Amino acid sequence: MARAVVSLPATVKRGEIVEIKTLVQHAMETGFRRTQLGIAIPRDIIRLFVCTYNGEEIFRAEFHPAIAANPLLTFTTVATESGSIAFTWTGDKGFSLTESARITVE
């Protein structure tokens, strides 16, 4: 099973800019490679990443071939209220992975 690691501060002040880092395990097979016998290796990539903050979408990224394996994303948001930040990666071959983290805003 694929793994993901997300990191963000657990506690922040209201209005503060929060840096979020996400790392996900995925081969990101481009679809352009062939085996040594010349057989094409089918594309198998993550297509979409979505991040929601208490249910509201705050960040999304579309992925394409030639993005490195085990994609690492860093982005920011503004701390508005305590709650849950959810992360979803979806892609080829039915790939789907969800992770979430709590954040406390003081």
Partner 1 sequence: MSARRGGRPLPALAAACVVLGFTQAAPAAEIPSAERRSGYEFMSRETRAMQDDDATNPAVLWLLDGEALWNRKDGAAGRACADCHGNARASMKGAAARHPAWDAAAGRPVNLEQRINACRAGRQQAAPLAYESRDLLALTAYVARQSRGMPVDIAIDKRTKPFLDAGRDTFMRRQGQLNLACTQCHDELWGRKLAGSTIPQAHPTGYPLYRLEWQGLGSLQRRLRNCLTGMRAEPYPFGAPEFVDLELYLMWRARGMKMESPAVRP
Binding site for partner 1 (CB under 8 A): 3, 5, 7, 21, 23, 25, 27-28, 30, 33, 66-72, 74
Query: Is the Cβ of residue 42 or residue 81 nearer to partner 1 in the bound state?
Result: 42
- Least gap, CB of 64 to partner 1 (angstroms): 10
Q: Would you state the structure tokens that stand for residue 87, as one six-digit string? A: 């992360």
- Least gap, CB of 6 to partner 1 (angstroms): 8
Answer for the pair 50, 60: CB distance below 8 angstroms, yes or no.
yes
Query: Is the Cβ of residue 14 or residue 33 nearer to partner 1 in the bound state?
Result: 33
Query: Is the Cβ of residue 10 or residue 15 nearer to partner 1 in the bound state?
Result: 10
Query: Is the Cβ of residue 21 or residue 47 nearer to partner 1 in the bound state?
Result: 21
Listed as own residue / partner, the contacts of 25-33 with beta carbons closer than 8 Å and 24 or more positions apart are 25/70, 26/2, 26/69, 26/70, 26/71, 26/89, 26/91, 26/95, 27/69, 28/63, 28/65, 28/67, 28/68, 28/69, 28/70, 28/71, 30/65, 30/66, 31/65, 32/65
- Least gap, CB of 44 to partner 1 (angstroms): 13
- Least gap, CB of 29 to partner 1 (angstroms): 10
